[in-house]
Structure 1
Amino acid sequence: MPPRTPLAAADDVLLARAVIGRVARAHGLRDTFSPVPFAGGSGNGAHMHLSLTKDGVPLFSGGSLAGDLTTEGARAVAGIVRELPGSIAVLAGTVVSDERMQPGHWSGATACWGVENREAAVRLLRANNGNPHGANVEVKCVDSGANTYLATGLLLGFAASGIERELALPAPVEVDPRELTPQQAEAAAVVPLPSDAAGRIAMFEESQEVRAVLGPELHAAVLAVRRYEASLDAGPDLHARTRFAWSS
């Protein structure tokens, strides 16, 4: 789908899922948007791309910083990367999301950023002939079980906060994060994202920035839902947890 304004883009995702479901059923098939459709199979990501402009000027290209970022573009990326650990309960918070959120699966399982780095949670795609809409960032940890509206709001809120707080962007990670030494990981502020329900819920509850972006009422509602889902977890049986629970 082509780039759109935030709300219109989220609406398009919802409409596309409805159309896919109806077409599938019309042909005797069944669709699924589960983060892991089949036990032992590949993950079902829903990576989110976003770009920012100010007065019509792109913030993710034409600058002098790493990846050609502008100063405000770098601050926006820093805001997103910094707050990802506390937001996974929204971005990838279902009972099977942890099966996808693993290193080596292109799922962005590590909070860091890089230019064209498919293992980084935030991947900067430069503007080029194959990318006619201009430079953008891809948040790879978002999966297909996420509420697109909440995910969009969180990421934009983090970006705006990064600009407002003038956050410094760590150096880009140019390799698979697993190849970094502990010293290199610390220098680049690289941390693994939570990959289990307990970790996701705890970090979501503790994140003041997530609470500020969502607002206290919505934050409390998401927290209650995630806790309830965790209490209903089917347990270690992966086949039970990868049923078509997210089919439209």
Structure 2
Amino acid sequence: MVCCHNDDKLITSPRGPFYGPLAYGFACGAHLAVHNNVMWNALGDPVADYENYTSVLKQSWEITTPEQWREAVDHLLSGENTASDGSHIVLGLRAQLFRQGVRRVDLPTWRDAIVHWAHPRQVPVEVAGELINLAGAVLRYEARFRADRLLPPEGTVHSTVAYDFGRAVNMARWGVGARLADPKHAEWCVVRAGSRARDTYASWQEYSAGYVLGRVIRFDDEQFSTWYDHALRGHRFLLSEPGSPWLHLSFR
């Protein structure tokens, strides 16, 4: 079954899965599956997809061996990819402020929290400055997210690790298609991504907002370019298309 909206396509394998932990994990990778016009609920085909996925892994990830693939998928499942951009630190400090009773965290308050965190750890001034700049970027992205109804009126993003989990699902897909991954292990990776997503987020909307913020922090540089437009379109599509797994699979 194929459902389309502009360039996005929701393609569903008639063989499933449609329910259960494996389907749930695949649904966590639906953003990229919809954008790339591939079946959201299937791994790659080691015959039909071999050349394409071999090229994707080599050119975009410098992956050519099973060992490199396993290292990459483990890196994504552990959330280490988004951790490298500082968002885990910045969002974690804001979460602490919320727990302390601060209802709205503006940039001066957030900046003070970052400085207070950085000083005893002897974090270099330039690194602390980058974290403060990232906090400002997050606030501006969240304002746009709320304007575009990607977030509710008072909503914020508490984690960007959804971006890693979503890509882990697709890394599993590519690994099988490129003949670098055993299908059973790849399925385990998909299920693991879903389990970690469920432990971190409360809804598909919340998960998607984390995914989009992780994506734009890495690629968009506050340009609100096609990187943002494509992610926003995928978010809306997956939350409105009748055949979307996000509508027939409960997040929790």
- What is the TM-score with the length of structure 1 in the denominator? 0.28
More strand by share: 1
More helix by share: 2
- What is the TM-score with the length of structure 2 in the denominator? 0.28
